[in-house]
Amino acid sequence: MVVAGAIVVFAPWVSVSVSASASAAAAPTAAPRPEAVPADHRVYMVSDSVGLGAAGVIQRTLPEYQVTLDGTPALFVEQLESKWVRQRMATAPDVFGDIAVVAGGYNYPYWDPARFDRSVDSIIAALEQAGAKHIIWVTLREVKEQFVTPSAWRAVQPYYWYFPTVNEHLRAALGRHADLSLADWAAAADQPGLTYDAIHLNQTGAALYSATIAAVVRNVATQLDAGSTTQVQVAGLRGVPADAKAVAVNLTVTAPAAPGFVTAYACGVDRPATSNLNFAGGQTVAVSAIVNVGADGKVCVFNSQRTQVIVDVQGYFGATSSYRTIAPTRVVDTRAAGGPIHPAVTALVVPVVGVAGVPVDAAAVAVNVTIVDNSIAGYATAAPCDDPPAVPIALVNFIAGTATPNFAIVKPAADGTICVTTNTPASVIVDVFGYFPAGAPVTATTPTRLADTRATQRLAAGTDLVVPVVGVAGAPSAAAAAVLNITSASPADAGFVVAYPCGAPTDASTLNVVKDRAVSNTTIVAPGAGGAVCIHASTEMDVLVDVTGWILDGFTGLTPWRAFDSRAR
C-alpha cells in the first residue's frame, strides 16, 4: 500500500518505510505490530539508496528479527538522522531494539572529513539514546575498474575516490564507540557481477549484501562484551575426570570488534599478565593451549575486546601425570622498554629453565610464542638452540600488521634455552605455562615433517589426510599422543581444519583458514585407528604436518568436543 509518498510493507516482525524521493518524502509512518517483539529481536536500519535496493532481501535473510528499514536516496548521514532516526524516536520509538544498522555515506559528493566524523558520532549517539546496544555500520564498496562495466566506471569517476576514505573514517570510529561494529561490504563486494551500475545492487549483489549484514547482526547479538571472563566447565564432562590437572584446548575467536587478546587460565586464581591468543578486528583465528584446571573443574577465558569465543577440549593431563602446571609467566617480550624490532633471520635466545618455577633439568617446556609488530608477512620457528632443524619448519605463520600466536612443547637446549627466529623483522613474545620434569614420559624433538601434500596431492574439500604418527620419525610405539603443528597452505576458500584420532570424527576445529593464506596451529592429538591422526579440510588446500614431540603417558587424548561457544547462547 502507499501512504503519503512512502511505501510500507507489512509482514510478521517486519516493516519497511522507504521514501520514494527526496521531494515526495513524508514523516515516518509506523507499521502496526501483530505482537510485542522483545528488544533483542528488533533491528532498526536506516539507509540511502544502496540498502533500500536490498530491503526485501534483508528482511528474508533475518526472519527471526523484526526489521524496520527506513531511508531516502541521496541523503547525507546527518539528514538520515534528522529525517528518519529522530522522527522515529518521536513518533514510533517501539521500532528500535538492541541492534541498529546504518548504511550511509555514499551520498557525499562534497567530501568534508570533519563533517563526516561529526555526523557519524551524532547518529550513533541518537541510536544509543533510542536504546540500541549494538550499532552496525555498513562500509562502502570501493569501486574498482575491473569489476564494473566501462560505462559504470565512467559514471562513477567524479566521486568514487572518496569511498576508501569514508571506510577509513568508519574504521577510526571503532576506537571512539565501543558499541560500533562494521559490516564489511567493501571486502565482500570486491568482485564482479554485484551491481547494475557501479554501486546499486542487482539480485546477486542484494543477496550478498543482505547476508553480510545478517552475519554481523547475529554476531553482535551473542558476542561477549569487552573485558568479559567466561567460566567453562571442563572437568567431569565428556571423559575428563573431576581431578584432571590440566586440559589441552583449542581457543578460537571470530568476528572481534577490534584488535585484542584472549587469556585462558585456572579459575580461582588471579588472571596472569600473559595471553594465549592475539587477534585483529574481524579476524577468525585459533590457537591451542594447555590450561590448568581451577576451582570446581573450570577454566576461565578472558577476552579483552568484544568478540565470539569458542573452546574445544582435545584431551587432559590426569592427577598423576608428570606434567607440571605453573602460573603462566612472560619470559621474553622484545617490545619491553621500547626495544627495537628483532631483526630477521637472527635467533632470539630465550632462557626457559631456571625461570618461572621451571627446574633447570626440565625435559620440555610448554610455551606460547606470539609475533607482533611485523610489517611483512612471514613465519617464525622455535627449537632447541643447540639442535635447530636442517630445514626451517614454521611454528607461526603470520600476516603483515597482525599479532599471531602459537603454542609449542619444546625441548630446551643443554644450556636451558630455546631459539625463536623470524624470517622478517618482528617483535617476539614468549610465555611459559608448564613443563615436563626430567625423566617424564615425554619426547620433545627437533621439528620433523610427517606430511606435505604439496609434494603429493592437494587435499580436496571435505576429505581427510591420514597421517601415521606411531612408529614413524622415531615415534615410540606406545605414544599416547603426538604434538603436531598443522599448517594450511594456499586454501581455495575460507574454512577450517580439524585434527582428530582417525576413526573418531568430530565437529570441533583445530585452525581456521583464509583464502590463499598460510595458517598454522599446534595441537596434541591421540593416535586413532592404525596409529594415525586424520586431518580433515573443509575446503581445498595443501596441508603440512610437523611433529615436535610425543607424550608416552599421563595424557589422555579425546575426540575433540566443544565445551563453549558464545554464538550458541
pLDDT, tens digit, 9 for 90 and up, residues 501-557 = 999 878 788 888 888 888 899 999 989 988 999 999 999 999 999 988 889 888 998
Q: In angstroms, rounded to a whole number, what is the distance separating the alpha carbons of residues 417 and 354?
A: 10
Q: Is the pLDDT of residue 6 over 70?
A: no
Last residue of a domain, one of 222, 250, 285: 222
Q: Is there a domain that residue 385 lies in? A: yes
Task: Note whether 272 and 160 are same-domain residues.
Answer: no
CATH classification at residue 211: 3.40.50.1110
Specify the pLDDT at position 9: 33
Q: What is the DSSP letter of 84?
A: I
Specify the pLDDT at position 198: 94
Joined together, the cell numbers standing for residue 530 give 592404525
Query: Which range (192-201, 249-258, 408-417, 439-448) has the least confidence?
Result: 439-448
User: Residue holding cell 601415521?
Assistant: 468
Specify the pLDDT at position 257: 84
Q: DSSP per residue over 480-541, as a string?
A: SEEEEEEEEES-SSSEEEEEEETT---S--SEEE-TT--EEEEEEE---GGGEEEEEESSSB
Angle (CA) 231 434 228, round 5°: 25
Question: Whats the size of the chain, residue-wise?
Answer: 569
Q: Are 521 and 453 in contact (CB under 8 A)?
A: no
| Residue type at position 196 | Y
Q: Is the pLDDT of residue 453 over 90?
A: yes
Task: Note whether 137 and 233 are same-domain residues.
Answer: no
- pLDDT tens for 44-69 read 999 999 999 999 999 999 999 999 99
Task: Note whether 172 and 199 are same-domain residues.
Answer: yes
Task: Note whether 310 and 389 are same-domain residues.
Answer: yes
Task: Note whether 23 and 101 are same-domain residues.
Answer: yes
Q: Is there a domain that residue 433 lies in? A: yes
SS3 155: helix
Q: Is there a domain that residue 544 lies in? A: yes
Q: Is the pLDDT of residue 25 over 50?
A: no
Q: Are 430 and 420 in contact (CB under 8 A)?
A: yes
Total count of domains within the chain: 2
Task: Note whether 72 and 109 are same-domain residues.
Answer: yes
Query: Which range (68-72, 307-311, 393-397) has the least confidence?
Result: 393-397
Residue 415's closest CA among 383, 386, 381? 386
State the pLDDT confidence band at 316, using cuts at 50, 70 and 90.
Answer: very high
pTM (whole model) above 0.85: no
Task: Note whether 208 and 241 are same-domain residues.
Answer: no
Q: Are 566 and 320 in contact (CB under 8 A)?
A: no
Task: Note whether 201 and 248 are same-domain residues.
Answer: no
Last residue of a domain, one of 179, 204, 222: 222
Tally helices (H) and strands (E) across the chain.
Answer: 9, 32
Joined together, the cell numbers standing for residue 139 give 562500509
State the pLDDT confidence band at 361, using cuts at 50, 70 and 90.
Answer: very high
Q: What percent of the chain has pLDDT over 70?
A: 93
Q: Is there a domain that residue 569 lies in? A: no
CA-to-CA separations, 68 to 88, 219, 281, 357, 529, in angstroms, rounded: 11, 19, 28, 58, 54
Task: Note whether 450 and 544 are same-domain residues.
Answer: yes
Q: Is the pLDDT of residue 22 over 80?
A: no
- pLDDT tens for 362-371 read 999 999 999 9
Last residue of a domain, one of 155, 190, 222: 222
Q: Is there a domain that residue 302 lies in? A: yes
User: What's the chain's average pLDDT?
Assistant: 89
Query: Domain of 347?
Result: 228-564
Task: Note whether 542 and 502 are same-domain residues.
Answer: yes
